[in-house]
Structures are given as C-alpha cells and as structure tokens.
Structure 1
Amino acid sequence: MNESTDNPKRNHVGRVLVAVLFFQLGLAGLLFWDDIADGLRLPGLSPRAPALDNPIRPGDQTRRFQPDRARPGGIPMPSSPLPDRLTLTVVGGGTRALLEGSIQPGDAERIEKQLSALEPMPEGVFLNSPGGSVRDALMLGRTLRQMGMTTALRSGDICYSACPYLLAAGTSRTIPDDASVGVHQHFFGENTLLPTFLAVEDIQRGQGEVMEYLDQMGIDPLVMRHALATPSDEIYLLLPEELESYRFIKKPS
C-alpha cells in the first residue's frame, strides 16, 4: 500500500478523533456552564417545575425538589425535619427497622454495623428519606439484599433521589398509594466547578453502575430514563402504574 492510499485513511481517522475531542469538550463545557448557572440561579425565581405539593397526573410528574416543605398532594411534613444523616430506629416490636433521613457518605457502613448488632434481626426496613449519597445507597442496598430484608414505605413517607436504590433492594417491596417515590439526576463526586468539568468519565461509570445494580435487584433499568432527564433540583414522581411497570411493586393478581 503506497502513501497516496494511506493519506486519505489517516485524514479520515484524524477528522474522527478531532470530532470526538470537540464532542467531549462540548459536553464538559455544558457541565461547566450548568454548575455556573446553578450558582447564579436565585432561589424562588423562575421555577422550572411546580412545587412538590401540587398533585401529579400522567405527563405532569416533575416537581421542584424541596421535600422539606411539603409532600405530594399537600400532605404536611412532620413538625420536625428529617434527620441530616440516616438514622436507624427499631419499630414494630423489633420486626422492622426504620431508616429515616438523608443518606450521607459513611452511612452505609455505619447502618450495616447497627443492623448486624440487632437481636433478633428485623425482617425488613421502612424507608423515609429525601436521598443523598448514591454510593452509600448502593452499598447499603446490597447489604439489605444479602440480609434478605423486605423494604417498604409507610403512609405519607417519601423516597427520593438515591433512596429508591434502597427500596429496590427489598426481597419484596410495599408502597402505599399515598407514599411517594421520585428520581432525578445524580452527582457522583463533589459538586464544584473543576471536578464537574473533568467528570464526564466518572458520570458515565456511575450511571453504568446504577443500571447494573437495578438489574441485579430485579428493577427495570429503563426507570433511569426519567432520572437522566430530570435536573438535580427537580424530582420526577413515579406513578403507581410506573412503579408496577418498572417492577418496584407487583401488579395485583
């Protein structure tokens, strides 16, 4: 093969590599600008979605992510806010454990130790959480599955952001009609300008890990399409029929 036939191929490869480079730079630039826009956005101005207490209906399920103010449908929140860290409380005469509050880094290991120390071991856990650390939710979720725990929400409880990964871990799952499950985009690192600018690979890896986890837990990974399309300051509330179709709960027989 002579140089005249090599040159067109080299030029084509070069154009492809340049196009890929510009695509990656453009994606990183969008992430960079999104962080700047979040920093400049004034709270309470030009909301992109209705408030969380507005009732949902098919096709109108995205709400501003302010779970400390109200639950869907105007159900009032408790008089005291949810804990800043995930807390474990034994309920139901020792048959259940209540996991309540935000999921912070390090909570998975801490809660696992607390669960392992319980005698007798609870049959399952109740969840009431606005979400938090994705990695800790995945770690704790795997622990709950290994322990053979069921997962459930109580009447009026919320399970948002990373919390549905704990919910997914249950050997069986119970969600009352007036409880609420919601998903949105996640951060897989520190939410600062420089890490976000360099985080394209980490985000892709993190999303891949989440989808693999959901599949292992028997949940349809397609639920992630709603999460990926919903900004982190909003929440997509899953309808009962979606909870069934994505296999969080079984269809009535």
Structure 2
Amino acid sequence: MTDTADTGTPRGKQRNPVARVLMGVLVFQLGIGGLLILGDMQGLRLPTFGPDAPRLTEPVRPGDQRRTFRPDRDRPVTQPARDPGQLPNRLVLTQTDGTTYRLEGGISAGDADRLAAMILQSDPRPETLILQSPGGSVQDALALGRTIRAEGISTQMLRGEFCYSACPYLLVAGATRDISPNASVGVHQHYFGQNTFLPAAFAVEDIQRGQAEVMTYLDEMGIDPLVMQHALSTPPDEIYVLLPEELERYGFIEAQD
C-alpha cells in the first residue's frame, strides 16, 4: 500500500521537489567549495557578477529585487507604520496590546533560549508576534522558530517594516502569518560555522550542514524550499526582497482567491 499525505499524493513523489532542491544546493556548494579552496590556497577572492545592487531606498520591482544590505544605514522606501528608531542588537520582546507582542532587533547568539523563556513566562502568553529584524544568528532563529510553532503563536508584519536574513525563519514559524503587502521580507546567503581560522575546505562542510538544516526547517514549516534559490544567489552583503506574489508562491502567505 502506498503511503500518502493528507492530499492523497504519494509521499515519495511529494518529497521529490525537496530532494531535487537539496541536490541542486549540494552541487552548487561543491562548486563554491572548490573556488573557496582555490582562493584559500592562492589568496584569490571570488569574483562578483553584474552591476552593484542599488540601495534599499530604491523601489523594488519584478526582476530588480537585489539591494545592498546595510540595515544600519538603509530602510525600505515604504513609509513604516511607526518609527522604531535604532533597533537593538539583540531581540527584545515588548507587549503592545493584550496578547500581541513585538519582537524586534538583531538575532544574537543565545537569543533562542532567552526569548523562549520570556515567551513561556509572559502573562498573558503571546498569541501574535509582530516582527522586525535585520537578521543575525541562523541557529538561534531556527531554534526560536520551532518554539513559536510549538506554542501555536502567529506572526505578523506591518506596513513598511522589514524582516531580513535569518528573520524570515521566525516569520514562517507562525501558526498563521499576516504580512502587509508593503512589508519587506528578504533573503540571502548565510555564514555558517564559528572557526574562521580553519582552511576553506573545512568551512565548506559547515556551509553544507547549515544549508541542510535550513532546508529541513523550511520543509517542516510548510515553506517551499525553492525559495532558497534566491538566497543562494544573493551574497551576504546584499538582500533579495521577495515580492508579494513570491511570498504566496513559496507558502509564506495563503493564496488569494
């Protein structure tokens, strides 16, 4: 008897797109790994392709979605719902109204355990988290995201506010997700691993392990891992801003009738 998901689709076939993406990521990383090793041995820098990306203050249009990633300098062009001022370097949880809380700031090492404890101890317990973050620690974002999903907490983004880099992993963890069409969600390549003194050949293993964890996590959260094609092709000093139709396509938001 064929094992099927709730939709009646054979489970093996359902997983094939994920397997293809994982294989593509592996091939991509092996190629990058070879270039890194060559650069490590010969003191070379990887080339960059195409013109420099414009700043975040420039409007984003289909096919023109890569922007320089300087969150300390640039904000999306859309007028935000409120001026948050200078965001903190670590995540801050602030009650706004009843069971609605804001979760804002950079994602630092240790934030997952610290914020999970705060969420579980809050009275009243958060039911909705309004997110705004330039990103940070991927591992902490994944761990905190799993707490958000386990607690059945919804996530939200308001007009003109942003969620970049590792922040979308918190966003997709929401039991439900409410994203303003004028909010800005962006992805790019991540740094993985802690030891910068190892040769690049060893760093490749960290990259592959980290990307596998991210792909598994996205699949757990019901997000199409093909969104990673944009992340993998965008360097860490740039951000790829997802359009509303892409947020729908990859499962961040429900399809509109």
Q: Identify the TM-score tier after normalising by the shorter chain.
A: 0.7 to 0.9
Q: Is the 8 A contact 1:187 1:203 kept in 2?
A: yes
Secondary structure, aligned partner of 1:110: helix
| Richer in helix (by share) | 1
Indicate the residue corresponding to 2:241 in structure 1. Answer: 237
Task: Call closer, same or farther: CA 1:196–1:252 in 2, change over 3 Å.
Answer: same
Residue aligning to 1:91: 96
Question: Could you tell me how far apart the structure 2 residues matched to 1:58 and 1:135 are?
Answer: 31
Asked whether 1:146 is paired with 2:146, we answer no
Structure showing greater Rg: 1
What stretches of structure 2 of length at least 5 have no aligned partner? Answer: 1-29
Shift of 1:69: 2.3
Deviation at 1:157, TM superposition (A): 1.1
Would the aligned equivalents of 1:53 and 1:75 in 2 still touch at CA under 8 Å?
no
Q: Residue 62 of structure 2: which of 58, 62, 81 is its match?
A: 58
CA offsets 1:140-187 (integer angstroms, 9 cap, x no match): 000000000001112211100000000010111011122100000001
**146, 155, 159: which one pairs with 1:155?**
159
Q: CA deviation at 1:36?
A: 7.1
Deviation at 1:27, TM superposition (A): 3.6
| Residue 221 (str. 1) matches residue 228 (str. 2) | no
Q: How many residues align?
A: 224
Aligned partner of 1:115 in structure 2 is 119
Write the distance in 1 (CA, Å) between the matches of 2:53 and 2:70: 11
Q: Distance in 2 between matches of 1:173 and 1:32?
A: 42
The match for 1:29 is 37
Distance 1:24 1:232, change over 3 A: closer
1:244–1:74 CA distance, 2 compared to 1 (3 A): closer
Aligned equivalents of 1:31, 1:138: Cα separation in 2: 31
Deviation per residue, 1:189-211 (Å, 9 max, x gap): 23735364521111111101101
Change (3 A) 1:83 1:31: farther
User: Is 2:250 the partner of 1:246?
Assistant: yes
Report the counterpart of residue 81 of structure 1 in structure 2. 86
State the distance in 2 between where 1:31 and 1:193 align: 14
- What pairs up with 1:200-211 in 2 under 5 angstroms? 200-211=204-215
CA pair 53-124 structure 1, distance change in 2 beyond 3 A: same
Residue 68 of structure 1 and its aligned partner are, at CA, apart by 2.3
Q: Secondary structure at the match of 2:194?
A: coil
The answer to whether the 8 Å contact 1:53/1:71 transfers is: yes
Counterpart CA distance in 2 for 1:52 and 1:32 is 32
**Are the structure 2 counterparts of residues 98 and 47 from structure 1 closer, same or farther at C-alpha, using a change threshold of 3 Å?**
farther
Deviating above 6 A after TM superposition, structure 1's stretches of 4 or more consecutive aligned residues are 22-25
So what's the TM-score if we normalise by structure 2? 0.80
Q: SS where residue 77 of structure 2 aligns?
A: helix
- Match for 2:169: what amino acid? Y
Instruction: Find the residue that maps to 2:191 and give its secondary structure.
Output: coil
Calculate the aligned-residue CA RMSD, in Å: 2.6
2:37 partner letter:
G
Cα gap change, 1:114 to 1:65, in 2 (>3 Å): same
- Per the alignment, residue 13 of structure 2 pairs with none
1:192 alignment partner in structure 2: 196
Alpha-carbon spacing, 1:24–1:186, altered in 2? closer, same or farther (3 Å): closer
Tell me the residue number matched to 1:3: none
Between the aligned partners of 2:211 and 2:232, the Cα distance in structure 1 is 9
- What is the identity percentage for the equivalent residue pairs of Structure 1 and Structure 2? 57
C-alpha distance in structure 2 between counterparts of 1:71 and 1:153, whole Å: 15
What is the aligned partner in structure 2 of residue 8 from structure 1? none
